[in-house]
Amino acid sequence: MLEYIIKRVVALIPVLFGITLLVFLAMHFVPGDVAQTLIGEKGGQEEVVKLRHELGLDKPLYVQYGIFLERALTGNFGVSYQTMEPATSAVMRAFPVTIQLSLVAIFFSLVIAIPAGIFAAVRQYSIFDNLLMGGAVLGISMPVFWTAVLLMMLFSLRLRWFPFTGIISNSISLHQITGFQLIDAAITGNWRAFSDVLRHLILPGIALGALPMAIIARMMRSSLLEVLQKDYVNTARAKGVRELKVINKHALRNALLPVITVVGLQFGNLLCGAILTETVFAMPGIGRLAVTSILFRDYPVVEALVLFTALAVVIVNLMVDVSYAYIDPRIRY
Amino acid sequence: MSFIRSRLLIGLVVISLLAVGWAAFGADTAQTGGTLVVGTGADPAGGLDPECVMNNEAAFIMATIYNRLVEYAPGSVDIVPGLAESWDVSSDGLIYTFHLQHGVTFHDGTPFNANTLRQVFDRLLDPNFPNYYANRKGIDSYVPGTLEANVASYSVIDDYTFQLNLAHPYAPLLQDLAMVWFGIVSPAAVEKYGAEVYKHPVGTGPFEFVEWVPNDHVTVKANPNYWRGKPKLDEIIFKQVPEGSVRTMMLQAGEIDVMMNVPPESITVLDNDPSVQVYRMTALLVNYVQIPRMVAPFNDIRVRQALNYAVNKKELSQYLYQGLAEPMESPMPPGMPGYEPLTPDFSYNPDKAKQLLADAGFPNGFDCNLYTYGNPRSYNAAGGKIATALQGYWKKIGVNVHITQLEWGSYLRTVRDPNFSDGMAMSGWTADCGDPDNFLFYLYYGKATNIPHAMTGRPDVDSLIEQERVSADPTVRADIIGQALQDIWQDAGDVWLTNGVLVRATTSNVHGFQLDPLSMFFYADQIWKGN
């Protein structure tokens, strides 16, 4: 197992290298110009030329890539063109917000999707099955900005149950240790802050979790249906094992394998930044950072962001692969 | 007895009237304390060092932290004393002597006087100064075009008198110095933080900086020693909420108290909400189409006039901008000193437009390009839709326009290229200060590079603009400006479209809030919250 993990980690290096090249080229071939965008519509051409020189954007592309690689290897991506703070610290500040949001979203989607999927499979073609799967289609089809605004209208504007935006109320102070607001609140025993952050995460978590929830529920249903047709399930039933036990012990564990793959993929997607959700809920996470940085052609931040998220996705995929071995005893690395 | 009774009655009436009056007066009495939450659309990218940034979100915050030497009167662009309590200008317009306020200190305790002011100017004008402002890379600044281009030297006369000596008369100087971009930064803070002072802003203003959490909020707290008197609020939080519809809901729910960028689609909802107060004011902005005046067929004035007559600006104002715009009647907007509507008014007349085209040798029209951005701008809330509307109008006179819509960064790169001459382009401008030169010089001076091709090939207009800039006599200057505006207008150098209306909204318990024509957030110390 350890050998397998080491192999996978080593294989990461060319992948990440390829990603840096792609991102670098993509950002530089996007039409538009960093200097002109930063100077805005009011600056003169002399200022644009001067800024281009200051930022080193007048150097040949391969030289710029060399500088970027050197920086990336040392973990120092340079400073943000927009805010002048180190790109790495901008990304490190935004990442915990997105990770917490993604965890809440995935938790919410699993809590609903897994039981719903099982129930729909067990009662195939029943009214419940139709309702649940209809709901899942709705979850896939509803654009997240729409779900978000609806949730906000109901729970924030009308009922006043949850706050509108942000990750923590301005009136609450929280000592920063890890950057993960929930963990920091728990470590310092600041339960008021903990519940405040949690309340901030619930609506965006639901909005963001709707799509993975729908996908996972459908996957759970079809996967379980397939397993329930298998001979060994019939054998178990023929032996007189009770239906609940058949599903729980014989079918579910085998049906979970493809579901875990999907959960892993979905979680990876969420980590790449919930651009719309974070914009609507004004959460200072990766998604919002990505939008503002791309619009401003803030190369250092975009490059740092993509590299970090790529790394996160690869790690999640690795974890998924490793978890197979635990769920399915037949799989050994 | 009846006399006594009537006296008693009168007495009672007077007392009750007094009581009612007192109660009413009490209800109106300014209340102090509390937190004001201001909802803005974006992060103050670029930071809070006024000489190094040109970003409106940063400007809102900086207007509460810093004072300028001279400032704008509330709700107007008239110049009033700021950190200079008075000033004299020599008759040749070359020497500006500022008499400074006494007893002012920066938030860090540094006293404000002529010596500290000299250090402020050292930072801006002396490249050998250790913390020269332009040592920081990638900044956006008004210093080169205003101070650097015009100030020859500066000196301390005594503790509270400071002098600026200009290389040549420069009439817009006071208007420039009043801009939020010339906030006076504590020299001690500059020395302490160096180029990073943008993260640690220290001024003399009504509010002191507390914290900036990027992409989330900025907090400032009342400066109890503010030289104009302690602000009424305890603190202001500038909260970033990028989505306009969410800002609207938050204002309705009272989660924010002031909404800086009101999306046009929210105005009706807010107008009908009794818990919200909507403020409107003519904004100092213009929305127009830039024409490459030197390139055929646009080099014929009749073609340019035809393009102007073919567009129904009233219809655009009413429908595309939902009543929040007015047809332009001068190259600069109403509200600017010396503004007056000019002739002809280029009101909608497609027949005349067709005739003009035929006279110019294009009876069947022609094909051309129109470049546009897609995103809404302060001067054009409709973004790229305006180009489609124009295409429709011009098609009626035979001019077939091919629209190229570009993302903002690419748009700027394309149309601001000095060699761009590929067709017309959507353009616009919001005033930086209350001087007509801000429109004349940047938009119509042929040698300026901000907007290539604006009025190139009109040496007479260039000469008028050069004259108004150095004219020390206000009356003479006003005449020159009037002449320049008239010449530019009659030349139909652009397709003039609309001026706009600035809209902001507050919850109805916010008092003392005032709009200002430059779309800033001045005089926040006057704001208070009722119950």
pLDDT at B259: 94
Q: Determine the average pLDDT of the residues in B245-269.
A: 91
Binning pLDDT at 50, 70 and 90, where does residue A137 land? confident
Binning pLDDT at 50, 70 and 90, where does residue B376 land? confident
Across the interface, whether the CB atoms of B249 and A156 are under 8 A apart is answered yes
Across the interface, whether the CB atoms of B47 and A42 are under 8 A apart is answered no
Of B54, B144, B198, which is closest to A40 when you measure between CB atoms?
Answer: B54
Residues B513 and B473 in one domain: no
Of A37, A39, A164, which is closest to B246 when you measure between CB atoms?
Answer: A164
**Judged by CB atoms within 8 Å, which residues 105-134 of B form the interface with A?**
none
pLDDT at A267: 86
For residue A75, how many other CB atoms are within 10 A of its CB?
Answer: 10
Interchain CB contact of A49 with B (< 8 Å): no
C-alpha–C-alpha distance, residues B387 and A61, integer Å: 35
Across the interface, whether the CB atoms of B138 and A94 are under 8 A apart is answered no
Binning pLDDT at 50, 70 and 90, where does residue B1 land? very low
Paired tokens of B510: 């916010």
**Residue B408 to residues A37, A167, B260, B449, Cα–Cα distance (Å):** 8, 30, 22, 19
**Judged by CB atoms within 8 Å, which residues 79-108 of B form the interface with A?**
none
Which chain B residue is nearest to residue A41, measuring alpha carbons? B412
Across the interface, whether the CB atoms of B255 and A152 are under 8 A apart is answered no
Across the interface, whether the CB atoms of A43 and B448 are under 8 A apart is answered no
A247/B239: higher pLDDT: B239
Tell me, yes or no, whether B250 lies in a domain: no
Q: Determine the average pLDDT of the residues in B433-447.
A: 89
Query: Which position has the token pair 């008198």?
Result: B161
Tell me, yes or no, whether B230 lies in a domain: yes
Mean pLDDT of chain B: 89
B195/B290: higher pLDDT: B290
Contact B47, B198 (CB under 8 A): yes
**Judged by CB atoms within 8 Å, which residues 120-149 of A form the interface with B?**
149
pLDDT at A265: 85
Of A301-310, B139-148, B451-460, the range with the lowest mean pLDDT is: B451-460
Paired tokens of A163: 């706050």
Which chain B residue is nearest to residue A55, measuring alpha carbons? B138
pLDDT in tens, B122-138: 999 999 999 999 888 77
Cβ neighbours of B216 in A, within 8 Å? 166-167, 282, 284
Angle at CA B371, nearest 5°, toward B366 and B374?
135
Paired tokens of A206: 């639901």
Q: What is the CATH number of the domain that holds B167?
A: 3.40.190.10
Residues B142 and B199 in one domain: yes
Of A130-139, B174-183, B408-417, the range with the lowest mean pLDDT is: B408-417
Cβ neighbours of B432 in A, within 8 Å? 42
pLDDT at B375: 81
Which chain B residue is nearest to residue A275, measuring alpha carbons? B242
Residues B384 and B473 in one domain: yes
Contact B159, B148 (CB under 8 A): no
Range of the domain at B155: 3-241+509-529
B400/A84: higher pLDDT: B400
User: Mean pLDDT: which of A143-152, A210-219, A223-232, B361-370 is highest?
Assistant: B361-370
ipTM of the complex: 0.82
Residues B194 and B299 in one domain: no
pLDDT at B431: 92
> Is residue B438's pLDDT more than 60?
yes
**Judged by CB atoms within 8 Å, which residues 215-274 of A form the interface with B?**
none
Residues B292 and B194 in one domain: no
**CATH no. for A97-297:** 1.10.3720.10
Across the interface, whether the CB atoms of A37 and B140 are under 8 A apart is answered no
Split into its structural domains, chain B has a count of: 2
Cβ neighbours of B446 in A, within 8 Å? none
Interchain CB contact of A19 with B (< 8 Å): no
Interchain CB contact of A292 with B (< 8 Å): yes
Residues B457 and B521 in one domain: no
Across the interface, whether the CB atoms of B144 and A47 are under 8 A apart is answered yes
> Is residue B531's pLDDT more than 80?
no
Binning pLDDT at 50, 70 and 90, where does residue B25 land? very low
Across the interface, whether the CB atoms of A38 and B140 are under 8 A apart is answered yes
Paired tokens of B496: 């003039």
Tell me, yes or no, whether B494 lies in a domain: yes
Interchain CB contact of B325 with A (< 8 Å): no
For residue A143, how many other CB atoms are within 10 A of its CB?
Answer: 10
Tell me, yes or no, whether B258 lies in a domain: no
> Is residue B21's pLDDT more than 60?
no
Alpha carbon of B218: minimum distance to chain A alpha carbons (Å)? 10
Binning pLDDT at 50, 70 and 90, where does residue A273 land? low
Residues 6+ apart with CB under 8 A from A273: A98, A285, A286, A287, A288, A289, A290, A305, A309
Q: Determine the average pLDDT of the residues in A174-199.
A: 91
For chain B, percent of residues with pLDDT exceeding 90: 68
> Is residue B188's pLDDT more than 50?
yes
A44/B282: higher pLDDT: B282
pLDDT in tens, B509-525: 999 999 989 989 999 99
> Is residue B8's pLDDT more than 60?
no
Binning pLDDT at 50, 70 and 90, where does residue B263 land? confident
- Strand, coil or helix: B79: strand
Binning pLDDT at 50, 70 and 90, where does residue A20 land? confident
Mutate to test the interface with A, among B36, B38, B137, B420 (most CBs of A within 10 A): B137
**Which helix or strand (DSSP H or E) is residue B85 part of?**
strand B84-89
Mean pLDDT of chain A: 86
**Judged by CB atoms within 8 Å, which residues 153-182 of A form the interface with B?**
153, 156-157, 160, 163-167, 170
pLDDT at B496: 94
Residues B461 and B513 in one domain: no
> Is residue B180's pLDDT more than 90?
yes
Mutate to test the interface with A, among B139, B198, B373, B412 (most CBs of A within 10 A): B412
Q: Determine the average pLDDT of the residues in A201-210.
A: 93
User: What DSSP string runs through B343-357?
Assistant: SS-----HHHHHHHH
> Is residue B145's pLDDT more than 90?
no
Across the interface, whether the CB atoms of A170 and B219 are under 8 A apart is answered yes
CA torsion, points A136, A140, A142, A146, in degrees to nearest 10? 110
pLDDT at B3: 46
Give the closest residue to B65 by CA, choosing from B45, B79, B48, B84: B48
Q: Determine the average pLDDT of the residues in B87-100.
A: 95
Of B47, B137, B213, which is closest to A54 when you measure between CB atoms?
Answer: B137
> Is residue A296's pLDDT more than 80?
no
> Is residue B184's pLDDT more than 70?
yes
C-alpha–C-alpha distance, residues B175 and B438, integer Å: 10
Residues 6+ apart with CB under 8 A from B102: B160
pLDDT at B14: 52
> Is residue B411's pLDDT more than 90?
no
Residues B490 and B520 in one domain: no
> Is residue B26's pLDDT more than 70?
no
pLDDT in tens, B201-224: 999 999 999 999 888 899 999 999
Cβ neighbours of B35 in A, within 8 Å? 170
Interchain CB contact of B176 with A (< 8 Å): no
Residues B402 and B432 in one domain: yes
Residues B356 and B399 in one domain: yes
Residues B495 and B513 in one domain: no
